[in-house]
Chain A
Amino acid sequence: SQTIHQWPATLVQPVGSPLSLECTVEGTSNPNLYWYRQAAGRGLQLLFYSVGIGQISSEVPQNLSASRPQDRQFILSSKKLLLSDSGFYLCVGSVNTEAFFGQGTRLTVV
């Protein structure tokens, strides 16, 4: 079965510092991959999605970026974090009708 490994589980970073969150996929190839953010008490907001290596679509203008250097690797980055970047970040994979989730990263920007 498909699984997503996402790390770290929690992260506290100062404002202005860089960010790199990584997720890797096991058990399938050529998945669609997504980064979502969930602010406290709110739903999942789609940030980026990728249908293949090097293919990134951005849904929301922000100071975040994403990259997919390998088929099963998806990275969320920022050069300078803002306080508003705090939230719960989820990496999600999708193959046909199935979606599978990483365990999420709780990011607190201080």
Chain B
Amino acid sequence: GQNIDQPTEMTATEGAIVQINCTYQTSGFNGLFWYQQHAGEAPTFLSYNVLDGLEEKGRFSSFLSRSKGYSYLLLKELQMKDSASYLCAVRDTGGFKTIFGAGTRLFVKA
């Protein structure tokens, strides 16, 4: 079966660093995505990993370990506007289906 797990909620302080974990069990793997979604809006793309290792993009970094079925999204220098849901998504081998996790709601407090 297909399963993607991420924590339901996290809280962090403005200026701090937060790591959002994602584990997956899928029938195939052709890339892992992280998206940010503000309430009532469509998700926006943050990162894409297909090979093991760390991808850095400004304040956001994403890590992948295919052998462990594990990824994390790292957010540095948190800002209030980073309060949102963060979705982990895995695309299957054929590249046709993308399965989303339930998302992690991040609350950034002052």
Contacts and interface: CB of A to CB of B under 8 A. Distances in A.
Interface stretch (A12-20, A70-78, A101-109): A101-109
Nearest to B42: A101
A17 to B, nearest CB: 23
Contact of B42 (A43, A94, A103): A103
A51 interface: yes
Interface in B61-98: 87, 89, 95-98
A82 to B, nearest CB: 22
B41 A103 contact: yes
Given A43-B87, A49-B96, A104 B42 contact: yes
Given A34-B98, A43-B4, A103-B41, 11 more contacts: A43-B100, A43-B102, A44-B43, A44-B89, A49-B96, A59-B97, A97-B48, A99-B33, A102-B42, A104-B40, A104-B41
A46 interface: yes
A8 B96 CA distance: 26
A46 B33 contact: no
Interface class of chain A by DSSP: strand
B49 to A, nearest CB: 10
13 contacts: A32-B96, A34-B98, A36-B100, A42-B103, A43-B102, A43-B103, A46-B97, A49-B96, A49-B97, A57-B96, A97-B50, A101-B42, A104-B40
B99 interface: yes
B31 A99 contact: no
Contacts of B40: 88, 104, 106
Interface in B1-54: 4, 31, 33, 40-45, 48, 50
A90 B87 CA distance: 14
